[in-house]
Amino acid sequence: MPIKKVSQKKSQLSKSKPKSIRLSKDVIPVHYTITLAPDLEAHVFSGTETIDIQVKKNTKNITIHSKDLELFDVSIKQGKTTENAKDIRYDDKHESATFVFGKSIIAGRAKLTISFRGILNDLMRGFYKSRYHVDGDERFMATTQFEANDARRCIPCFDEPAMKASFQVSLVVPNNKEAISNMLPTAVTEHSAGYKVVSFEKTPIMSTYLLAFLVGDFEYIEHTTKKGVKVRIITVPGKKEQGRFALDVTLKCLDYYEQYFDIPYPLNTLDLIAIPDFESAAMENWGAITYRETELLIDEHSSLSNKQRVAIVICHELAHQWFGNLVTMEWWNDLWLNEGFASYMEYVAVDHIFPSWNIWSQFLFSDHDRALRLDGMVSTHPIEVPVHDPNDIGQIFDAISYSKGASVIRQLASYIGQEAFRDGLRYYLKKHSYKNTETIHLWQAFEKQSSKSGKKNITKMMDAWTKKPGYPLVSVNERAGTLTLDQKRFLSTSGKNEQKKNSMFWPIPISFVASIGETGSYMFDTQQMQFGLPELDWCKLNADETGFFRVAYSRDMLSKLSVPISEKLLSESDRYGIIRDIVALTETGEYTLADTLSFVECFKAEQSYSIWSEIVVLFGKVHMLVKGTLQEESYKKYVCDFMIPVFDYVGFTKDNNEDESKTLLRSLVLATLVRYEDKKVLSWVAKQAKENQKNIPLDANIRGVVYAGMAKIGSDAYYAQLLKNYHSTDQHQEKLRILSALGQFEGEKYIQKNLKMLFGPDVRKQDSIYLFMSITSFESGRASAFAYMKTNWTEFKDISAARNMFSSFVKSFGGFRTDKDKKSVKAFFEKKGTVGIELALSQTLEKIDQNIAWIGKNKKEAVMYFKK
């Protein structure tokens, strides 16, 4: 099967020189003995370590990673002789230090001892401090976040994923504080007055990015599994009971993975710790997984979607305990392997634990669609991407690694079958335990397990999906009993489609469902393919949307599909796939807006949460066209009328024992009706707001909607009421809900208040993005926020240091829709320096281009349509 080589434009990520940041392999760490003493009052820490190393070649120099640490008392011991380093040379660019010795270190074993000091920072990376309160008293804990390459900010180390070693950790802490690390404590001994030393069991061989050290006031709930694994959910004082749901999910998930991977969980302890200040959602440190509070804790203020998210994140991080921790990527270019896989397994496990959630239908919207959108842009990148510069590592934790990664793994699992997939994994994990791998090792494992069924060329097939950017658009035509399929790369930016025509194709496992039943699956690995088929009423390609591609049906075929959609002869996933592609293909101009609006009528009777999510996307796109025109009002009425049947189905209140998907659908429907100012919904909001003012608790599932409705109505009293709620709660999910609603108040005075609040004392640094995204979700907010950023750049400086977060700030401007705005966004960030945000910026600019093109092409048509 020929996969054409594409001449790849130099990716945004590959500007740095290859290899330059790898450590020499002449010195290899074997074991670390670490003692670390954080000072929670002075916000500094000190430590000493001895690293047992294997020296391959005689040398006078040893280079090790270290960033923002002061190193001293460095010595090396070989046999009985100890020698102090003559010089320590710091290299800021490579985040390393070189120790220079007077005499050669002879090839063989040696012990390297280093003392060091550093600052407990507030960047949420390396060894950092997080703020919490006990009885109104402000306190700080010390905690770590090392992935990808920040272990070097805490301990001098060989900070590369393949430099695995074992670790024996001791933490020196005040007597009244708790200490947590990857393993269980083996001894607590007295240190100086008021201090104790907590020593932990030696870890298995592992990568530095998975280490964790925490010191603070903690409380926990726990349960020991039948196999003796001690599982704890750990929180700051006063919150441990909010860990019940997480404990239950963790125990079930642990059980499930042990059986699925056929390998016992490798440690005897598993802590899940909720940290008040945390940059990402969660981090899979081996045996000591850290979380944002919102991603772990559940109480009566949590909605169903909060619960589902917690379950998803737990199952994701637990998957890493095997895939990632036990078997680790050789280097960061294979990061996708970790993240794509865990992003797939999270659904497998949640589906097992909560079958009634029908969670796979959410995969389609949250991951599959997200990946198709991003990967349909010119500014995308291949899944497997060369990374050299440390700045680039952060950038590839994106929807391509996660969501496209998960989607192509799902495509493969469905192609080779669930059993061969599971067996391949078992083989891979057992074969490479405590070692490092590259992507190809996984394909080889699947090849081994699936060759029985004749599906041998997995590597070749998967290379096409992971080494090239983008994915195919399959066009399909039916004539006189023959189905003709064509493929070309899908690009959402108009014009490019034609120009790239025929330039590449993919090996696509293709399947279909038709009026005559299932028609099996085939490998479509040429430019064109034909099938002779008996006469069909209708035919839907990509059964259950397991493949990673879009389909463009001929007008005739598409119109025939309206019947199995409205009569629900097609599965939810199949119906979903049709509407998703129609929306995308209307954007590229393949279908006209009028045709799409008339086709979408057949979805009116839908009751599926994910399908409605997609219809709401279409509503938003069309809204963009009529915004500010005379037709805007009639458009709003059109949307509200369109939703009458689904509103009648969900109503305002929850039935006992209703399906979970109905609960989610209700929030979506009401939120949409709020957005389009449905009268009955807005007066219901006013009533709920009154209850809320009287402190009558609202069902957490509709709280977000009520708050958004209050913002839509937009009075000073409502703003004040929400702000008061914000200050009176310490529940982070509730705080975020309110923050998002505050951001939606549209008047300029609210926008300015919100912008002032962004980096003020009341919003944790990790949360300001929620407020910012909300402010930038509407036109005047976006303009004011950009103006504010330009004049108050210093306030954004801290954020711009935390690059993953900064990317999200940049992406918030993707809603701009004029060339002038595009130019000023580009000019502004280029002037400020784009290091670490190159990808986010190019995606944002392309998104603005898409908006411009969409409006240019369809505005007239939309206005005409809604004049009727």
The site for ligand BES (CB under 6 A) is made up of: 147-148, 280-284, 312-313, 316-317, 320, 339, 342-343, 397, 402, 804
In the bound complex, what is the minimum distance in angstroms from residue 146's beta carbon to ligand BES? 8
Joined tokens for residue 748: 């300029």
Residue with the closest Cβ to Zn ion?
Answer: 342
Q: Closer to Zn ion at the Cβ: 206 or 342?
A: 342
Q: Which of Zn ion, ligand BES, none does residue 312 bind (CB under 5 to 8 Å by kind)?
A: ligand BES
Alpha carbons 592 and 585: distance in angstroms, whole number? 9
Cβ atoms of 122 and 367 closer than 8 Å: no
CA atoms within 13 A on the CB side of 347: 22
- Tell me the closest approach of the beta carbon of residue 729 to ligand BES, in angstroms: 23
- Cα gap 631→641, rounded to integer Å: 15
493 binds, among Zn ion, ligand BES, none (CB under 5 to 8 A by kind): none
The least distance separating ligand BES from the CB of residue 397, rounded to whole angstroms, comes to: 4
Q: Return the number of other C-beta atoms located less than 10 Å from residue 480's C-beta.
A: 6
Q: Contact between 367 and Zn ion (CB under 5 A)?
A: no
Contacts of 614 (CB under 8 A, 6+ apart): 365, 369, 576, 579, 580, 583
By C-beta, is 63 or 145 nearer to ligand BES? 145
Whether 106 contacts 58, CB under 8 Å: yes
Alpha-carbon distance 177 to 640, whole Å?
A: 56
> Residue 835 has which token pair?
């290091």
**How far is CA 600 from each of CA 372, 373, 558, rounded to the nearest angstrom?**
21, 20, 11
What does each C-alpha distance from 183 to 124, 149, 619, 667 come to in angstroms?
A: 22, 21, 51, 42
Q: For residues 791 and 806, is the Cβ–Cβ distance under 8 A?
A: no
Q: How far is the CB of 324 from Zn ion (least distance, A)?
A: 7
Beta bridge partners of 271: 232, 288
Q: Which is nearer to Zn ion, 181 or 321 (CB)?
A: 321
Nearer to ligand BES, 313 or 763 (CB): 313
The minimum distance between CB 657 and ligand BES, in angstroms, equals 29
Q: Classify residue 858 by burial, with Cβ atoms within 10 Å: 0-12, 13-18, 19+.
A: buried
- Dist CA 652 CA 665 (whole Å): 11
Q: Which does 148 bind (CB under 5 to 8 A by kind): ligand BES, Zn ion, none?
A: ligand BES
CB of 320 to Zn ion, least distance (A): 6
Would you say 408 or 543 has its CB closer to ligand BES? 408
Q: Could you say whether residue 342 binds Zn ion (CB under 5 A)?
A: yes
Q: Shortest distance, CB of residue 385 to ligand BES, whole angstroms?
A: 15
Exposed e or buried b per residue across 699-721, where buried means at least 16 C-beta atoms within 10 angstroms of its C-beta: bbbbbbbbbbbbbbbeeeebbeb
- Name the binder of 147 from ligand BES, Zn ion, none, CB < 5-8 A by kind: ligand BES
Which amino acid, 795? E
Residues 6+ apart with CB under 8 A from 186: 199, 200, 201
Taking the complex as a whole, the smallest distance from the CB of residue 315 to ligand BES amounts, in Å, to: 8
Which of 49, 293, 295, 317 is catalytic? The answer is 317
Comparing CB distances to ligand BES, the nearer of 307 and 488 is 307
HSE, CB side, 13 Å, CA atoms: give it for residue 321: 31
Interface region with Zn ion, contact rule CB under 5 A, candidates 337-345, 603-611, 790-798, 819-827: 337-345
Residue 402 Cβ vs ligand BES, minimum distance, rounded to whole Å: 6
List of E strands, 358-497: 435-437, 472-479, 482-489
Which region among 131-139, 338-346, 582-590, 675-683 touches Zn ion (by CB under 5 A)?
Answer: 338-346
**CB nearer Zn ion, residue 199 or residue 436:** 436
Q: Which of 343, 342, 467, 338 is nearest to 393 (CA)?
A: 338
Strands of the 219-224 sheet, one edge to the other: 219-224, 230-235, 269-275, 288-292, 282-283
Nearer to Zn ion, 317 or 821 (CB): 317
Query: What's the token pair of residue 48?
Result: 């000493």
Contact 340, 319 (CB under 8 A): no
Strand runs labelled E in 636-723: none
Establish whether the linkage from the previous residue to 148 is cis, with ω within 30° of 0: yes
Name which of 74 and 396 has its Cβ closer to ligand BES.
Answer: 396
Among ligand BES, Zn ion, none, partner that 377 touches (CB below 5 to 8 angstroms by kind):
none
Quick note: the x/- pattern for Zn ion over 434-473, rule CB under 5 A, is: ----------------------------------------
- Residues 397 and 379: their CA atoms lie apart, in Å, by 15
Q: Are 722 and 734 in contact (CB under 8 A)?
A: no
Which CB, 33 or 403, lies closer to ligand BES? Answer: 403
Task: Specify the stretch interacting with Zn ion by CB under 5 A; choose among 268-276, 342-350, 551-559, 811-819.
Answer: 342-350
Residue 313 binding target from ligand BES, Zn ion, none, CB below 5 to 8 Å by type: ligand BES
- In a 13 Å sphere around the CA of 751, the CA atoms on its Cβ side amount to 19
- Shortest CB 404 distance to Zn ion, Å: 14
Distance, CA of 536 to CA of 558 (rounded, Å): 13
β partners of residue 328: 436
Report, in Å, the least distance between residue 400 CB and Zn ion: 14
Quick one: what does residue 283 bind among Zn ion, ligand BES, none, with the CB cut-off 5 to 8 Å set by partner type? ligand BES
How many binding residues for Zn ion (CB under 5 A)?
A: 2
CA 346 distance to own-chain centroid = 12
Shortest Å, Cβ 804 to ligand BES: 6
Contact between 284 and 250 under an 8 Å Cβ cutoff? The reply is no
d(CA 577, CA 565): 11
Cβ nearer to ligand BES, comparing 199 with 325: 325
Residue 513: exposed, middle, or buried by beta-carbon count in 10 A (0-12, 13-18, 19+)?
A: buried
Binding-site partner at residue 289 among ligand BES, Zn ion, none, CB < 5 to 8 Å by type: none
Q: Which of 339, 447, 478, 572 binds Zn ion (CB under 5 A)?
A: 339
Q: Which does 281 bind (CB under 5 to 8 A by kind): Zn ion, ligand BES, none?
A: ligand BES
Whether 317 is a known active-site residue: answer yes
Q: Which does 171 bind (CB under 5 to 8 A by kind): ligand BES, Zn ion, none?
A: none
Nearer to ligand BES, 314 or 593 (CB): 314
| Termini Cα distance of the chain | 52
Q: Which is nearer to ligand BES, 196 or 309 (CB)?
A: 309
CB of 317 to ligand BES, least distance (A): 6
Residues that bind Zn ion (CB under 5 A): 339, 342
User: Which residues are the active-site residues?
Assistant: 317
